[in-house]
């Protein structure tokens, strides 16, 4: 059995980051009413909460991915690499705030 230790309350003063879904190129807040904690394993503290998807949200995400796949498959490897590096750059800037 696994136990989760609660972080000391002094470390919980910052607001938790909300992690939503990304469907069809836009962020979508989960509507299932369920979520789960996200922890920084190095610090042992909760840093966010992730929305759990409803069956309808999963269906929408799968359909959007299915529709986007032909264009993504036709995109050159160098262009896809460029896109991923741009995403990484934006995410690393957002994480340093």
- pTM for the structure as a whole: 0.65
Least reliable range by pLDDT among 19-33, 46-60, 82-96: 82-96
Structure tokens at 12: 């919980």
Q: Whole domain around residue 16: which residue ranges?
A: 9-95
| Residue 89: inside a domain | yes
Tell me the C-alpha distance between 68 and 1, whole Å.
41
Contact 51, 20 (CB under 8 A): yes
| Residue 4: inside a domain | no
| Residue 1: inside a domain | no
| Residue 54: inside a domain | yes
Domain tally for the chain?
1
Q: What confidence tens digit (pLDDT) does each residue in 35-58 have?
A: 999 999 999 999 999 999 999 999
| Residue 3: inside a domain | no
Structure tokens at 66: 């299915």
| Residue 2: inside a domain | no
Contact 32, 60 (CB under 8 A): no
- Tally of CB atoms within 10 A around 19: 16
Tell me the C-alpha distance between 74 and 8, whole Å.
50
Tell me the C-alpha distance between 56 and 59, whole Å.
5
């Amino acid at each position: 059995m696994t136990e989760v230790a609660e972080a000391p309350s002094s470390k919980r003063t910052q607001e938790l980051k909300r992690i939503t879904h990304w469907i069809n190129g836009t962020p979508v807040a989960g509507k299932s009413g369920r979520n789960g904690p996200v922890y920084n394993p190095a610090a042992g503290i909760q840093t966010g909460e992730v929305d759990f998807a409803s069956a309808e949200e999963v269906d929408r995400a799968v359909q959007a991915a299915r529709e986007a796949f032909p264009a993504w498959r036709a995109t050159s490897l160098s262009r896809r690499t460029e896109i991923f590096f741009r995403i990484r750059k934006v995410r690393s800037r957002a994480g340093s705030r």
